[in-house]
Amino acid sequence: MTQVRADPHTTGTARFAMLHDTAEAMLESLAERYMVERRESKELLGPTEALVRMVRLIPRTPAAGPLAVAFTDFPGLMVRLGRWWAEALPACGCDDCGENPGELTEVLRTQIGALVEGGLWERVRRGVGGSWFETRLIAVGFSARREGPLTARDAREARRSGFAAPVQWAPWPRRI
């Protein structure tokens, strides 16, 4: 996960604070409705970054994909779905980009909803130049695909974990 940094061309970052409120409410609601373990810690997002609050929801079945949300000081979020899907909200936050916090909360809801409903698919591909991860996230009215390089170590670990073949994460188990 990459940290969102304050930019000298960024003013009024407080408008993104609603992302923290929305994420917290979603995490609480998900923990009440689904059979998950909630883990909270302080973690570094990178070697040169500050500690941030990290909340993980780990489904009680290993077939369902985990969710991790980091609350950055910007204020913003770093969201990880499954093994490789990562989303920075906002992606930039500068005045020129004009990212709308309301639209970003809808991105958060849509992507987390897709994970919870079993719409995340991931795999490792081997190529001439090395290994790559490939992810797809699908929900009603939403479909996205991403890929990126893996280190040799990460590729070996992923294949050992069952990602040599495509993995479609299962829906989260509901509480009864």
Stated pTM of the model = 0.88
Residue in this structure with the two tokens 């990602």, named with its chain if needed: 163
pLDDT digits (tens, 9 = 90+) for 38-68: 999 999 887 777 889 999 999 999 999 999 9
Three-state SS letters, the chain: CCCCCCCCCCCCHHHHHHHHHHHHHHHHHHHHHECEEEEEEEEECCCCCCEEEEEEEEECCCCECCEEEEEECCCEEEEEECCCEEEEECCCCCCCCCCCHHHHHHHHHHHHHHHHCCCEEEEEEEECCEEEEEEEEEECCEEEEEEEEECHHHHHHHHHCCCCCCEECECCCECC
User: Which tokens sit at 84?
Assistant: 């490789």
pLDDT digits (tens, 9 = 90+) for 105-154: 999 999 999 999 999 999 999 888 899 999 999 999 999 999 999 999 99
What are the boundaries of each domain within the chain? Answer: 13-116, 120-168
- Return the pLDDT at 21: 95
